[in-house]
Amino acid sequence: MLAATTLGPAVSGFIAMLMLAGTMAACRAEELPGVAASGFAFKGSGLCVKCHRTEQGEWCDVATTTVWRHDAHSRSHLALLPDNPRTRAMEHALGIKAAETVSCVACHTHPAAEPPPEEEDDVVHAGISCETCHGAGAGYFEPHMEKRWRFLSVAEKGVLGMRDLRDPVLKAENCLSCHLGDVASGRVISHAMYAAGHPPLPAFEMETFSRAMGPHWKRVWEKAPRVQAAAAAAGYHTEAASETHRALVGTLVALRSSATLVQDYARLAAEPGDRPQAPWPELALYDCQACHHDLRIPSGRQAAGYGRLVPGRPTIARWPRAAAGVALAVAGQPDDVEALLSPWVAVLNRRPFGADADLEPGAPESLERIDAAIRALQAVRRDDGLDDRRREIAERLSAAGLRCGDIDSARLVAWIMLGAMEGNAAWPAEARDAVAANLARDAAIGVPRPPAEAAALPPFWQTSLEAAANANLETLRSAFRLPPAAQGSGR
C-alpha cells in the first residue's frame, strides 16, 4: 500500500498524451480515458448527490452536499474559462484553450468519462467531483451502502475501487496528486504554466487545508458513542490519534511525493518510443527558490548550507523537509532528512536536474524508512496522553521553526504547530493566539483565521509571494518561540 508509484503501460500511454499537452499541442479533454486506473467505470456525481444530500445514518451523519456547495473544488472548472482574467492571460501566453488542454483538465475538473448530472442545480457540475477523490464508483457503489462496508480494511475497499480517504496516507496522496503533482495521473504543472501566470502552488498541509476546504466528514471520535464503540470493537484501524499526528503523516507523504515526482517524471522523459518526449528538464518540479532569489554574498543559503548537494544546484522541493524531520523524530527515528534524501541528491549531483539514464530504481531504503515512520505515527492511539504528545510535538516544531531557512518550510511548520497548540490544555487559547499573531506579523506566513475575519482577507496560503520576497528570516524565526506551557495543566 505504501509503495512508490509505479507506472503501468496503460498509464504511461495516458501520460504520453498528457505530455503532449505539456508541450501545448492541442489535445482535447474528451480524450481522457473513460475508466479510472482502478479499472472501474464512473457512476457520476449526480447519483452520489441523490443520497448524500442528507445524512446517511449515524456513520455518515453529515449532509455532504451542503458542505460541498461551498467547497472550491465543486467549481474548480470555472478557473479554466476565459472570463477569468488570469486564465485569459495564460491562454494568450501559452497559445492554448485551457478547457481543452488535458493537463489543466486533469487537475481542475472531474474525469471526462463521468456521466453528466441530470439536474443542473445538483451542485456538482464539472468541478472536481465525488469520484475524482473517492475513486470511480462502479465497483463499490452497491456494496458501500451496507453497514458491513465501514469495517472493511483499506485494502478491501481499494479492491472495489474506493480510496479510503479516512486513511491519512491515501488522503494525503490524493490531495497532493493535484496540490503538488503526480505523474501517474497526468497531474503535472509545468514551469511554462507558472511563467504564464498560474499561481504558485503553496506548501500543502493536509489538516489545515482540509479545514480550509470545508470538511464534509466527521472523525470517528466525533461520531456517536455507539458508533465509536462499534468501530473499536471491529478493530477499525485507519485513523491516527490526532489531527497533529495526521498532519505529520501528511508531511512525510509530501516528502516522499516530492522526491518520487522528479524520479517518475525523469523515467517518463527517458522512455523510448515514437511519441514526443516529455520536455526535460521540467523546472517546476524543483525548488522554486533555488533559482528565484536575490544574488547575494554572503547569503542566507550559504549560511544554511547545501547539505549533501553540490552548491548551487537546483534541488527538489524544499518545503516538506523541516516538518518531516519533526515527524521522523516523533516517530522515534533519526531526524536527518538530508541523509534520507541522499539517494536522490546523488542523482542531482551527478548531473544538474538529475538524469533519466542515471536514475536508480527508487531509493528502497529511504522509502522504507519513511513508511516505517508513517506506520509508527499511525499506531498512536487516542488516549489520555494525547495532550502531552501534542505538547512535545509543538515544542519540536518550535525548535524546527527557529532554524527554518525559507518561508515555505516555515509556513508548513507554523500551520502544524498552531494545530498542535489548538485545544491543548497545556496552552490557553490566548497563548496560541499570541503565537499566531507573531507568525502573521509581517504576512510572510499566512495563518488561518476565524471565518468572520477570513472573509475580508486574501486566503492565508496565498499571501506568500510578495511577503516571501520581503521576509526577514531573523524576525520570522523569532516568532516560533512558544510561551511557557501552563504548569500542571488540567487534564
> What contacts 130, CB < 8 A, 6 or more positions away?
45, 48, 49, 52, 124, 137
Binding-site member from 194, 236, 280, 306 for ligand HEC (CB under 6 A): 194
| 202: contact with ligand HEC by CB under 6 A | yes
CA 340 to CA 316: how far, in whole Å? 13
Q: In terms of CB distance, is 210 or 349 closer to ligand HEC?
A: 210
Name the one residue in this structure whose C-alpha cell is 522526491.
259
CA 186 to CA 261: how far, in whole Å? 11
Binding-site member from 12, 18, 173, 174 for ligand HEC (CB under 6 A): 174
Binding-site member from 20, 41, 169, 175 for ligand HEC (CB under 6 A): 175
Find the binding residues for ligand HEC in span 31-90 (CB under 6 A).
43, 45, 47-52, 56-57, 59-60, 62, 64-65, 68, 72-73, 76, 79-80, 84, 86-87, 90
| 199: contact with ligand HEC by CB under 6 A | yes
| 108: contact with ligand HEC by CB under 6 A | yes
Q: In terms of CB distance, is 116 or 364 closer to ligand HEC?
A: 116
Binding-site member from 314, 320, 401, 446 for ligand HEC (CB under 6 A): 314
CA 198 to CA 194: how far, in whole Å? 5
Of 141, 137, 157, 134, the C-alpha closest to 73 is 134
Q: Which stretch binds ligand HEC (CB under 6 A): 133-141, 257-265, 319-327, 472-480?
A: 133-141
Record the cell numbers describing residue 442, joined without a space: 509581517
CA 133 to CA 144: how far, in whole Å? 16
| 218: contact with ligand HEC by CB under 6 A | yes
Q: Which stretch binds ligand HEC (CB under 6 A): 175-183, 265-273, 414-422, 467-475?
A: 175-183
Find the binding residues for ligand HEC in span 438-467 (CB under 6 A).
459, 461-462
Q: In terms of CB distance, is 120 or 274 closer to ligand HEC?
A: 120
Nearest-approach distance from CB 483 to ligand HEC, in angstroms: 28
Residue length, the chain? Answer: 491
Q: In terms of CB distance, is 49 or 443 closer to ligand HEC?
A: 49
Of 259, 252, 256, the C-alpha closest to 359 is 259
Cα 25 off chain centre by: 28
| 228: contact with ligand HEC by CB under 6 A | no
CA 265 to CA 252: how far, in whole Å? 20
Nearest-approach distance from CB 83 to ligand HEC, in angstroms: 11
Binding-site member from 12, 17, 18, 171 for ligand HEC (CB under 6 A): 171
**Inter-residue contact 127 to 74 (CB < 8 Å):** yes
**Inter-residue contact 216 to 71 (CB < 8 Å):** yes
Of 4, 3, 1, 2, the C-alpha closest to 262 is 4
Amino acid 271 reads E
Binding-site member from 19, 20, 128, 435 for ligand HEC (CB under 6 A): 128
Binding-site member from 27, 102, 104, 329 for ligand HEC (CB under 6 A): 104
